Structure 1
Amino acid sequence: MNNILSCLEGAKTVMIAGHTRPDGDCVGACMGLWHYIRDNYPYIQADVRLEPVPDSYKVIKGVEQIISDYEDDRTYDLFIALDASDKERLAGAKKYFDTAEHTICIDHHISNSGFADENLVLPNASSTCEVLTGLMDIDGISYDAAVALYIGIICDTGVFKYSCTSHRTMDMAGCLMEKGIPYSDLIDDTFYRKSFKQNKILGFALDKCSLVLDGRMIMCILERKELDQFEAGHGDLEGVIDQLRLTKGIEVALLASAADGETTKYKFSMRSNHYADVAAVAAEFGGGGHIRAAGFSAAGDIKEIYGRVEKLIKEQLDTCTME
C-alpha cells in the first residue's frame, strides 16, 4: 500500500478532492499532492476541486486555482479522494468520483470503510497530510508542497498538542521543516492569527457559552441571525471550538452553528479532552471524525437536535466516569 501513488504513473488526468467544508488538513493534503504532481509528473493534468476555502489557508500557493464549482461533466483517469471518510462527504465532487476510470482514497479517519478502488486509511496517523508525506519521495517534495502539508499537520494536531500526535508525526513535520519553510509564521498565520471579525465572533461565542452536565461539558449554539450580525460565515468560526475545549474542568466542548445561508440546518463540532468518544456521538447523526474530534450536520429544530446530542454525550460521560 505504500506504493499507492504509483497509480499516478499511468494517468494523464487526475482529479483531487476532499470533504465538504474543507479544513486545514483537507486543503493542505489536496494542495500538497497537487504541487507534488506538478513538480514530479509534468505530463499529468491535475485539478483540485473543493468548496471555497477559509482565508487562513490562502497562504498556500496555488489555492486560487482550486475549482469550486461542479457544473461541467469532465471525466478523469484517476480520482484521488483525500481526508474524506465516505463518498457522500465529497459533496459535489462525488459525480467525478463515479465517472473516473480509477479511484483512490487516502485518509486517516477511523470511520472510513474504504469506498474507493484502492484505499489507504491509517487511523493512527495524526492527519491525511502526515499519511501523504510518508508516501511521497522526500526529495520530490518542493517548498510549496511542504508548506501545504505542514499546515495540514499543524491544524489536525492543534500544533502538536492533540493526542493524535506521535513520534512519526514529528518526524514527518521535521522533514517538511527541512525544506526551509517559515514554520513559525505558518503556525501564527493559520492557527492563531485572527481577523477582527473572527475575534469579535469568538468573544460573542465565549460570552454566550454555558456549562452543562454538571460542568462536564461546555456548549454554544450560534443562530443564523447572530452570525449575520457579524457578517460571519463558517470559515470565521475557525478556532472557536478549540478555545472552548481549553475551558478548565470540562471534558467535552460542543459548538453548533447555523450552516452558511441556512436557518434550520446546523453544523455541530465536538471535542473531548481525555476519554469521551465524540466520534460515536457524531456517527448517530451520519457524521464522523476522530474519538477526540468529530462533527456532523443536521437539519430541524435546534432544541430537539441539541437535546438528542446532549443525551448521547451524557451517556458517554456517565459510562466513562463509571469505568
Structure 2
Amino acid sequence: MKIKDLIGNAKTVAIMGHTRPDGDCVGSCMGLYHYLKENMNSVQVTVYLENFQEPLRFMKDISQVRSVYDGTVYDLAIALDSGDKERIGAGAEAFAAAGRTACVDHHISNPGYGDIHHVVPDASSTSEVLFYMMDSEKISADAAECLYTGIVHDTGVFCHSNVTERTMEAAGCLIGKGIPFSTIIRETFQEKTYVQNQITGRALLESILFLDRKCIFTYVSRKEMDFYQVEPKDLDGIVDQLRLTSGVECAIFLYETGTQEYKVSMRANEIVDVSKIATAFGGGGHVRAAGCTMHGSVHDVVNNLSEKIEKQLLDHENSCRR
C-alpha cells in the first residue's frame, strides 16, 4: 500500500498515536504529517498526541500537535503505532468520529482494526512501514528526521533483533537526506536526565535474578516515583538495560500505576516470545519486546509471568535435545 492509496479522496486527515507516545510513535506521526503537508497540498492535516519526552520536541512543527479533541469530524483518521484501538491516545475521539479510519502498524498482536489496515509485523517500526509506503524521492529532510528517530528508538539504535536489511536500507536513505543522524541518536535516545539516571540506578540495584539466572526483574513503586519526582516516561530504557545483563534471556520491569496494578514491560534476547505472554494477559507487542497491565501483588505478577516464561525456556531446551 502507498500513502496516496491510504489517503484517497480525503481532504481532512487526523493522525494519532498510542498512549504514552515513544520515539516511533511521535516520529511516525510527525513523519507522515510532513510528507502529507509537503506532497498533498489540498489535504489539511492535524496530529493528536499525548504528552511525550522533551528530547523528541526537536521535530519541526511539533508545536502544532494537539492533545485535546475539538470536535472536528475528519474525512480520515489514521492511527499509527497503536497495537489496538483501545491504545489510541489523545486522538481516540477523533478516530471514532471520522468518516473513514485506518491503522498503520508493525505490532504482531495488532488485530487489524479500522476500515483500512496496513500492518507489517516484520518491520522494525511503524516509521519503517511508512517509509516504504512513501515515494522516497519526495521525503524531505524534515520528514526524514522524524522517521529516522522512530527507527532508531524502536531498534535500540539498530541493536535489536527486529533490524533487517530493509531497515538499514531505509535508514541509509533517510541519512542521505542530510539529517543530523548522530545528534538525533545522542540527544533523543542516549542522553538521560539526572533523575532518570537516579531511578534507573535504584531499579537496577534492586533487581533480582531467577529461573537459573536466565530471567531478571525489578519494579518501581508509586512512592519511589514520587520521591524521585519522575513520571512513567522517565522510566523508559530500564527494561532494556536489564536485558543486557550477562546470561539473561528475559527481562521484566514493573512500575506501579494503582493499588495492586502494574504496567509490565518485557524484553527477550533470542528464545522467549514475550508478545505471546503479554497477549495472554491482555497486552501485546513484538516477539522480543512487549507489555501489558497486570493486577495483584508484585509477587503474584512475577509468578504469573515466570510460569509462562519458564514453559517457553523448557520447550526450547527440550527441542534442542531432540
Q: Cα offset for 1:118?
A: 1.2
CA–CA distance in 1 between the matches of 2:309 and 2:135? 43
Change in CA separation of 1:45 and 1:196 when aligned onto 2, cut-off 3 Å: same
CA–CA distance in 2 between the matches of 1:110 and 1:3? 20
Are 1:85 and 1:107, in contact at CA under 8 Å, matched by a contact in 2? yes
Q: Does 1:314 align with 2:294?
A: no
Q: Cα offset for 1:297?
A: 1.7
Decide which moves more: 41-50 or 238-247: 41-50
TM-score relative to the length of structure 1:
0.94
Any residues of structure 2 matched to 1:188-227 within 5 Å, and which? 188-227=186-225
Task: Return the letter of the residue paired with 1:100.
Answer: A
Q: Does 1:283 align with 2:282?
A: no
Any residues of structure 2 matched to 1:1-323 within 5 Å, and which? 2-70=1-69, 72-259=70-257, 262-323=258-319
Decide which moves more: 221-230 or 98-107: 98-107
Secondary structure, in 3 states, of the residue corresponding to 2:262?
strand
When the two chains are superposed, the root-mean-square deviation of aligned CA atoms in Å is 1.5
Are 1:191 and 1:239, in contact at CA under 8 Å, matched by a contact in 2? no
Secondary structure, in 3 states, of the residue corresponding to 1:58?
helix
CA–CA distance in 1 between the matches of 2:299 and 2:91? 32
Q: Cα offset for 1:322?
A: 1.9
CA–CA distance in 1 between the matches of 2:265 and 2:191? 21
Secondary structure, in 3 states, of the residue corresponding to 1:309?
helix
Q: Give CA-to-partner distance per residue, 1:27-61, whole Å, 9 cap, x none.
A: 11001001111111223221111111112312222
Q: Cα offset for 1:280?
A: 0.7
Q: Cα offset for 1:69?
A: 2.3
CA–CA distance in 2 between the matches of 1:60 and 1:264? 38
Q: Cα offset for 1:67?
A: 1.2
Secondary structure, in 3 states, of the residue corresponding to 2:88?
helix
CA–CA distance in 2 between the matches of 1:290 and 1:91? 20
Are 1:223 and 1:263, in contact at CA under 8 Å, matched by a contact in 2? no
Task: Return the letter of the residue paired with 1:253.
Answer: A
Q: Give CA-to-partner distance per residue, 1:69-118, whole Å, 9 cap, x none.
A: 24x32211001111112111114533322221111211111111211111
Are 2:20 and 2:89, in contact at CA under 8 Å, matched by a contact in 1? no
CA–CA distance in 1 between the matches of 2:54 and 2:305? 30
Task: Return the letter of the residue paired with 2:58.
Answer: V
TM-score relative to the length of structure 2:
0.95
Task: Return the letter of the residue paired with 1:21.
Answer: R
Query: What residue ranges of structure 1 are gaps of 5+ in the alignment?
Result: none
Q: Give CA-to-partner distance per residue, 1:231-272, whole Å, 9 cap, x none.
A: 01111112111111100000001100123xx44432111000
Task: Return the letter of the residue paired with 1:303.
Answer: H
Q: Give CA-to-partner distance per residue, 1:120-173, whole Å, 9 cap, x none.
A: 111111111011011111222111111110010011111111111111111100
Secondary structure, in 3 states, of the residue corresponding to 2:196?
helix
Task: Return the letter of the residue paired with 1:237.
Answer: L
CA–CA distance in 1 between the matches of 2:297 and 2:205? 23
Are 1:56 and 1:189, in contact at CA under 8 Å, matched by a contact in 2? yes
Task: Return the letter of the residue paired with 1:213.
Answer: L
Are 1:122 and 1:131, in contact at CA under 8 Å, matched by a contact in 2? yes
Task: Return the letter of the residue paired with 1:47.
Answer: T
Structure 1's consecutive aligned runs of 4 or more residues displaced over 4 angstroms after TM superposition are none
Secondary structure, in 3 states, of the residue corresponding to 2:169?
helix
% identical aligned pairs: 46
Change in CA separation of 1:305 and 1:5 when aligned onto 2, cut-off 3 Å: farther
Q: Give CA-to-partner distance per residue, 1:281-311, whole Å, 9 cap, x none.
A: 1001111011100001234433322321222
Task: Return the letter of the residue paired with 2:130.
Answer: L
CA–CA distance in 2 between the matches of 1:122 and 1:156? 14
Q: Cα offset for 1:206?
A: 1.0
